Amino acid sequence: MKKITPDNRLPTVSSVLAEIKENCCPETSEDQHKETLNDSAVLEIELDIASKELKKQQELNNYRRQHYSVNNLNNEVVRMETVLPTKEVFNIVVGYVKRFQADINYYAGWRVETISLVDQVFICFSKYCFNICTFSTPIAF
């Protein structure tokens, strides 16, 4: 019978499995694993942000289709509703108001987020020029 020496011992199961794992599919280091997790987390966050942005744009498009808006009015209607000479003059006024948009707060600090700034300015001009009742204005918009 042949004597077993340390050099000619049969490999153990764990050493065979380790060798197969190394040859078959190399081990990913902990850093590579963390990097992969970070990349997938970043992609999920970007996808979530893109989905929210898409939903916001779809809501904006639906809003424009369903509501009375300055964007859909021609020059003559804007002139009649605001008593400004042209739609371009109205756009200049809106540009001026945009500079102060961050400072605009309504009663009790309320901030309008669903009505565009252009439409808010249009509502103000309509109410001022025609002395429109407060209750009927929001219904139109």
Please write down the HEC assignment for all residues of the chain. CCCCCHHHCCCCHHHHHHHHHHHHCCCCCHHHHHHHHHHHHHHHHHHHHHHHHHHHHHHHHHHHHHCCCHHHCCHHHHHHHHCCCCHHHHHHHHHHHHCCHHHCCCHHHCCCCCCCHHHHHHHHHHHHHHCCCCCCHHHHC
Digit-coded pLDDT (tens) for 1-46: 445 445 556 666 667 666 766 666 554 566 666 677 677 777 888 8
Digit-coded pLDDT (tens) for 105-126: 777 877 777 788 888 898 888 8
Digit-coded pLDDT (tens) for 86-110: 899 999 999 999 998 888 877 787 7
The answer to whether the predicted template modeling score (pTM) of the entire model surpasses 0.85 is no
